[in-house]
């Protein structure tokens, strides 16, 4: 990289001092377990919006999905549409307000706690917490890998050291400062991300000669689409893949719908609605949240495809070819090669901030699920806060170990998998809890279990990319996938979420009919 390492280290050092200072502030404001879990329910709306956005948008969204858009094209902007439409507007207005009101009334402090109290059911609390501590480490490990890889290539720190240092720094402020520290640091990180992405967009268009010129140049590269990709439905970077083709199915079912819908029921985001004191704060947060997300994924999915113009000019290859087939390297390589030195530093900080803000929230959510929801009341002489801190430490350790085991090129896929699982398992039961006067625990339980099991079966036995990697289908049946194409590229969420909704509806209808007849 062109920037000298000393400058980078000094700026990173200043950033880390600011993060530690905010961590200490969070630590000082954390006295009760409610402070640790829901930041005392008195967070400022702007901090909420930036924290929600920064948690939502990780390095995975920028580097992983930005890289995927460099590979598949601008069709990924449909994910931005869902990110804002569902992830902000519907999430805050339809779900956020109900979650805040009900969460306050029932004194819920985590997502599993909210589910348990809404349904007055330890089963709902425990199963929700169990799904979090089983599924979330996968997503967390992907964020860790992304962050560590970026630190490795930017600061020339060995990968293993980067991974441990990265996990350890975030662990310290999460364990000691709880959600107050997490949200304060998120807000700073969100602001850095906003500046970084805004500069990235402007400089890319300047570099490529203007908005229309850049897009026209990208459209003219369609002839460079490799034959194999064209045969799978790729029609160029400024057009949608052929309807129904394998690439179209992956783009729409896994990336756009899987991630777009999955965001609605992510426990680490839902808990944020319970951190503000009134609905007014949620209204104000919407104002900041929408433009923030547009500047994150909208920019990543625009600049990603445009890197093809840069790489075609400089190397005669597509972005994917120039980066040796690793989508996660496309944006870092583009920025290092094309951007002015000072921007490389700013963007490095933005990515570090994106990774840290998501990681801290995942650590916190897994820790509270393990140390509070599952372990609550069994702490013995240990205080509630210390129990959660121990749970957090254990989950951080497990995720870091998983990061060593997981394959490299998996950031975007692991993100989509986690979001799919959240949607299939939690979304119908969560919506039922928020919008039904007397939510049925049997219906919610059936939906949660059906969604999670259907997601797992489809992931392990049908969706080829995962079933091949897991090897379970091969071991049991001798085949990598049980169903033929096109099912092998249909994302688990497309199957599991409707089944989860059907299970909930069927039990609700059955109970109503049974009550009437008795």
Partner 1 sequence: MFGISDPQIWISYVLAIVFALACIVYGILNWNSEEESNHGS
278 near partner 1 (CB under 8 A): yes
Nearer to partner 1, 106 or 172 (CB): 106
Contact region with partner 1 (CB under 8 A), list: 71-79, 171-179, 195-203, 500-508:
71-79
**Cα–Cα distance between 220 and 227 in angstroms, integer?**
16
330-338 vs 159-207: helix axis angle to the nearest 10?
60
223 near partner 1 (CB under 8 A): no
Nearer to partner 1, 292 or 458 (CB): 292
- Please identify which residue in 1, 20, 77, 203 interacts with partner 1, judged by CB under 8 A: 77
- Residue 91: CB minimum distance to partner 1, A: 11
Which residues ranging from 387 to 446 are in contact with partner 1 (CB under 8 A)?
A: 433-439
Helix then strand count (H, E) for the chain reads 26, 0
**Cα–Cα distance between 295 and 434 in angstroms, integer?**
30
* Three state DSSP letters for 238-273: CCCCCCCCHHHHHHHHHHHHHHHHHHHHCHHHHHHH
**Cα–Cα distance between 518 and 513 in angstroms, integer?**
9
122-155 vs 341-368: helix axis angle to the nearest 10?
160
Structure tokens at 375: 């372990």
498 near partner 1 (CB under 8 A): no
Q: Backbone dihedral region of 316: left (phi > 0), alpha (psi from -120 to 50 degrees) or beta?
A: left
- Please identify which residue in 137, 289, 367, 428 interacts with partner 1, judged by CB under 8 A: 289
382 near partner 1 (CB under 8 A): no
Give the burial class of 394: count Cβ atoms within 10 A of its Cβ; 0-12 exposed, 13-18 middle, 19 or more buried.
Answer: middle
Which residues ranging from 238 to 257 are in contact with partner 1 (CB under 8 A)?
A: 238-240
159-207 vs 384-405: helix axis angle to the nearest 10?
80
- Please identify which residue in 9, 14, 89, 317 interacts with partner 1, judged by CB under 8 A: 89
Nearer to partner 1, 40 or 96 (CB): 96
- Please identify which residue in 203, 286, 394, 449 interacts with partner 1, judged by CB under 8 A: 286
Transcribe 133-152 into DSSP letters: HHHHHHHHHHHHHHHHHHHH
**Cα–Cα distance between 28 and 503 in angstroms, integer?**
46
Contact region with partner 1 (CB under 8 A), list: 1-9, 31-39, 234-242, 449-457:
234-242
376 near partner 1 (CB under 8 A): no
Nearer to partner 1, 84 or 396 (CB): 84
- Please identify which residue in 187, 285, 354, 362 interacts with partner 1, judged by CB under 8 A: 285
> Do 296 and 53 meet the contact criterion of CB atoms below 8 Å apart?
yes
Q: Among 356, 42, 370, which residue's Cα sits nearest to residue 172?
A: 356
What does the DSSP 8-state code read for residue 232?
Answer: T
111-118 vs 411-435: helix axis angle to the nearest 10?
30
66 near partner 1 (CB under 8 A): no
- Please identify which residue in 12, 29, 85, 123 interacts with partner 1, judged by CB under 8 A: 85
> Do 56 and 422 meet the contact criterion of CB atoms below 8 Å apart?
no
121 near partner 1 (CB under 8 A): no
Contact region with partner 1 (CB under 8 A), list: 90-98, 123-131, 192-200, 485-493:
90-98
98 near partner 1 (CB under 8 A): yes
- Residue 218: CB minimum distance to partner 1, A: 8
383 near partner 1 (CB under 8 A): no
214 near partner 1 (CB under 8 A): yes
**Cα–Cα distance between 504 and 510 in angstroms, integer?**
10
Nearer to partner 1, 146 or 290 (CB): 290
216 near partner 1 (CB under 8 A): yes
Q: Among 273, 246, 227, 229, which residue's Cα sits nearest to residue 430?
A: 273
215 near partner 1 (CB under 8 A): yes
- Residue 243: CB minimum distance to partner 1, A: 9
**Cα–Cα distance between 254 and 261 in angstroms, integer?**
10
54 near partner 1 (CB under 8 A): no
Contact region with partner 1 (CB under 8 A), list: 146-154, 214-222, 325-333, 409-417:
214-222
Nearer to partner 1, 129 or 218 (CB): 218
- Please identify which residue in 25, 130, 284, 453 interacts with partner 1, judged by CB under 8 A: 284
- Please identify which residue in 18, 176, 232, 291 interacts with partner 1, judged by CB under 8 A: 291
Q: What are phi and psi of 164, to 5 degrees?
A: -70, -45
Structure tokens at 504: 């909930």
**Cα–Cα distance between 187 and 180 in angstroms, integer?**
11
Q: How many CB atoms lie within 10 A of CB 47?
A: 23
- Please identify which residue in 261, 288, 494, 501 interacts with partner 1, judged by CB under 8 A: 288
- Residue 56: CB minimum distance to partner 1, A: 14
Size of the site for partner 1 (CB under 8 A): 52
**Cα–Cα distance between 409 and 91 in angstroms, integer?**
30
- In the complex, the residues that contact partner 1 under the rule CB under 8 A are 73-75, 77-78, 80-81, 84-85, 88-89, 93, 97-98, 101-102, 118-119, 211-219, 238-240, 278-280, 283-291, 293-294, 298, 433-439
């Amino acid at each position: 990289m062109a920037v000298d390492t000393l400058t980078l280290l000094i700026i990173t050092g200043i950033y880390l001092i600011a993060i530690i200072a905010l961590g200490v502030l969070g630590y000082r404001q954390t006295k009760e377990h409610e402070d640790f879990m829901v930041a005392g329910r008195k967070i400022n709306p702007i901090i909420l919006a930036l924290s929600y956005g920064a948690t939502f948008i990780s390095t995975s969204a920028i580097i992983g999905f930005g890289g995927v858009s460099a590979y598949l094209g601008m069709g990924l902007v449909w994910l931005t549409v869902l990110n804002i439409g569902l992830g902000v507007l519907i999430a805050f207005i339809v779900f956020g307000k109900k979650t805040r009101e009900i969460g306050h009334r029932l004194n819920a402090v985590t997502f599993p706690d909210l589910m348990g109290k809404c349904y007055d059911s330890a089963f709902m609390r425990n199963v929700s917490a169990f799904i979090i501590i089983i599924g979330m480490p996968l997503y967390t490990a992907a964020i860790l890998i992304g962050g560590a890889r970026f630190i490795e290539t930017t600061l020339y720190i060995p990968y293993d050291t980067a991974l441990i240092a990265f996990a350890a720094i975030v662990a310290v402020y999460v364990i000691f400062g709880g959600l107050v520290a997490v949200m304060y640091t998120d807000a700073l990180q969100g602001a850095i991300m906003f500046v970084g992405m805004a500069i990235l967009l402007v400089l890319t268009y300047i570099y490529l000669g203007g908005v229309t010129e850049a897009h026209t140049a990208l459209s003219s590269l369609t002839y460079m689409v490799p034959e194999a990709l064209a045969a799978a439905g790729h029609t160029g970077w400024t057009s949608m893949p052929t309807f129904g083709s394998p690439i179209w199915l992956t783009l729409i079912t896994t990336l756009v719908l899987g991630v777009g819908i999955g965001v609605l029921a992510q426990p680490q985001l839902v808990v944020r609605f319970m951190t503000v004191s009134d609905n007014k704060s949620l209204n104000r947060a919407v104002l900041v949240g929408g433009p923030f997300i547009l500047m994150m994924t909208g920019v990543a999915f625009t600049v990603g495809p445009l890197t093809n113009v840069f790489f075609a000019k400089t190397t005669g290859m597509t972005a994917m070819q120039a980066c040796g087939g690793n989508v996660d390297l496309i944006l870092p390589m583009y920025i290092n090669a094309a951007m002015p030195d000072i921007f490389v530093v700013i963007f490095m900080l933005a990515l570090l901030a994106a990774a840290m803000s998501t990681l801290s929230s995942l650590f916190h959510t897994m820790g509270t699920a393990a140390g509070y929801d599952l372990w609550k009341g069994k702490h013995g002489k240990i205080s509630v806060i210390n129990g959660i801190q121990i749970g957090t430490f254990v989950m951080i350790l497990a995720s870091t170990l998983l990061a060593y085991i997981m394959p490299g090129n998996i950031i975007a896929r692991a993100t989509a998998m986690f979001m799919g699982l959240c949607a299939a398992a939690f979304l119908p039961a969560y919506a039922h809890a928020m919008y039904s006067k007397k939510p049925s625990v049997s219906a919610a339980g059936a939906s949660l279990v059906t969604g999670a099991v259907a997601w797992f079966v489809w992931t392990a036995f049908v969706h080829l990319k995962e079933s091949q990697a897991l090897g379970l289908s091969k071991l049991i049946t001798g085949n990598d996938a049980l169903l033929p194409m096109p099912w092998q590229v249909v994302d688990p969420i497309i199957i599991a979420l409707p089944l989860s909704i059907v299970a909930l509806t069927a039990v609700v209808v059955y109970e109503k009919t049974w009550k009437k007849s008795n």
